[in-house]
Amino acid sequence: MANPQANGDGEKVAVRGLEGVIAAESSVSYVDGIHGRLLYQGYDIHDLADHTTFAEVVFLLWRGRLPTQAERDAFSAELVGEMRLPSQVLEMLKLTPPNSHPMAVLRTAISMLANFDPDAENLSPEANWRKAKRLMAQVPTIIADLHRIRNGLPVLSPDPGFGLSANFLYMLRGTPPSQLESEAMRELMVLHADHELNASTFAARVIASTLSDMHSALAGAIAALKGSLHGGANQRVMEMILDIPDPEMVQSYIAGMLENKKRIMGFGHRVYRTEDPRTPHLRKYSELLCRVRNQEHLYEISRRIERAVMDAKGIYPNVDFYSATVQHAMGIPPEYFTTVFAASRTAGWIAHIMEQYADNRLIRPTSKYTGEMGRPFVRIDQRG
């Protein structure tokens, strides 16, 4: 087949960072970076953020349609019912050194879960559906249990009275979330649930395309999300905000970073050229929660950072920016922020993995070779 990325002489041309390359067909989500639109299975993110539960969005992403009330309630109960971990995985969490990063532990735990899942190597749609539900439920439990173990607290069973997102917060902190916290956590997870062919989703699809199993694809996605240019940015955002002692110092702090050619975490996006449609939702919860927790100065610092970066570079905040103060105000430690992103994005990763399996072709691009050719071989005993 002719190479669509060749110049007039038929020479290969590499696209750095695969920017603009269409690498898959997908109906899971749609990002319009020019107009700042995001759709899940055709539904506008603003409608979903305002009106759906997280379980409802998971159902939508996996099944391609919104559930009825009865379907949603049954699905939500099923997910909450799958939140237990095998005891061996719980033991492994206790064995991890206290300073290992929660994303590293999550990556390990997903690999380990595969060894205890009776369907691990079964790629039939029925087995994948069972694994999808288990993984969707087990990821939040891994994170909550790790946090409690590291703080010397007993791990908690899910409360059947809560859905997945409220249970996540409850099992992590040990106190039932307030109405505002439940809303914030629900919306945060809905907003993070999918985002087209981002780096971690692409990683998951590449792995699934080799007909490797769902746990492997998910572990690979978590590994990709961990980086600071992707999901790892939210933790770095909070570290920056906490590093600024006074809102009055924001201007000089940001100017100093830009002068030193440092990236401002939580800003910029490969696709959006206008405001990320997820930002206003998270900004709203950041303001409300910071007020309730007497952390108004953190919201004020965030607003000023947003203005300073816009004035200096014309760059908008991305989903990670206000997610930081929202999570901080709910008492989630910064090193766990990216795991909360992972728990939410598990919904999208699984939707993409199942979509890849359903119409698979091995993803195997090519590279433009920039090395030497025809070097004379010298035997080892003759090399100087």
What does the binding site for ligand COA look like in residue numbers (CB under 6 A)?
A: 17, 229-230, 233, 263-270, 313, 315, 318-320
C-beta of residue 187 within 8 angstroms of C-beta of residue 281 = yes
Considering the complex, state which of residue 31 and residue 106 has its C-beta at the smaller distance from ligand COA: 31
Considering the complex, state which of residue 19 and residue 126 has its C-beta at the smaller distance from ligand COA: 19
Burial pattern 3-27, b for ≥16 Cβ within 10 A else e, equals eeeeeeeeeeeeeeeeeeeeebebe
CB of 265 to ligand COA, least distance (A): 5
| Beta-sheet strand order (sheet of 37-40) | 29-32, 37-40, 43-44
Q: How far apart are CA 79 and CA 158, in angstroms?
A: 10
Considering the complex, state which of residue 170 and residue 322 has its C-beta at the smaller distance from ligand COA: 322
C-beta of residue 326 within 8 angstroms of C-beta of residue 286 = yes
Q: By beta-carbon distance, which residue lies closest to ligand COA?
A: 268
Residue 17 is which amino acid? G
Considering the complex, state which of residue 142 and residue 233 has its C-beta at the smaller distance from ligand COA: 233
Question: Is 320 part of the annotated catalytic residue set?
Answer: yes
Beta-bridge partner residues of 12:
6
Residue 50 is which amino acid? D
Question: Is 101 part of the annotated catalytic residue set?
Answer: no
Residue found by looking up tokens 């439940």 in the block? 182
Helix ranges (DSSP H) in the chain: 45-51, 54-63, 69-81, 87-95, 102-116, 125-150, 164-173, 179-191, 199-209, 214-225, 233-243, 250-259, 279-292, 296-313, 319-329, 337-358
CB of 282 to ligand COA, least distance (A): 12
DSSP, residue by residue, 333-347: -GGGHHHHHHHHHHH
Considering the complex, state which of residue 108 and residue 198 has its C-beta at the smaller distance from ligand COA: 198
CB of 267 to ligand COA, least distance (A): 4
CB of 222 to ligand COA, least distance (A): 16
Considering the complex, state which of residue 285 and residue 316 has its C-beta at the smaller distance from ligand COA: 316
Which residue, among 271, 217, 197, 194, has the nearest Cα to 23 in the 3D structure?
Answer: 197
- Which residues, 6 or more positions from 343, have their beta carbon under 8 angstroms from its beta carbon? 139, 140, 143, 168, 189
Considering the complex, state which of residue 230 and residue 297 has its C-beta at the smaller distance from ligand COA: 230
CB of 2 to ligand COA, least distance (A): 28
Q: How far apart are CA 264 and CA 88, in angstroms?
A: 40
Which SS3 state, helix, strand or coil, does residue 293 take? Answer: coil
Per the residue annotation, which of 194, 213, 276, 320 is the catalytic one?
320
Classify burial at 215, counting beta carbons within 10 Å of its beta carbon; exposed 0-12, middle 13-18, buried 19 or more: buried
Per the residue annotation, which of 192, 215, 269, 328 is the catalytic one?
269
Active site residues: 269, 320
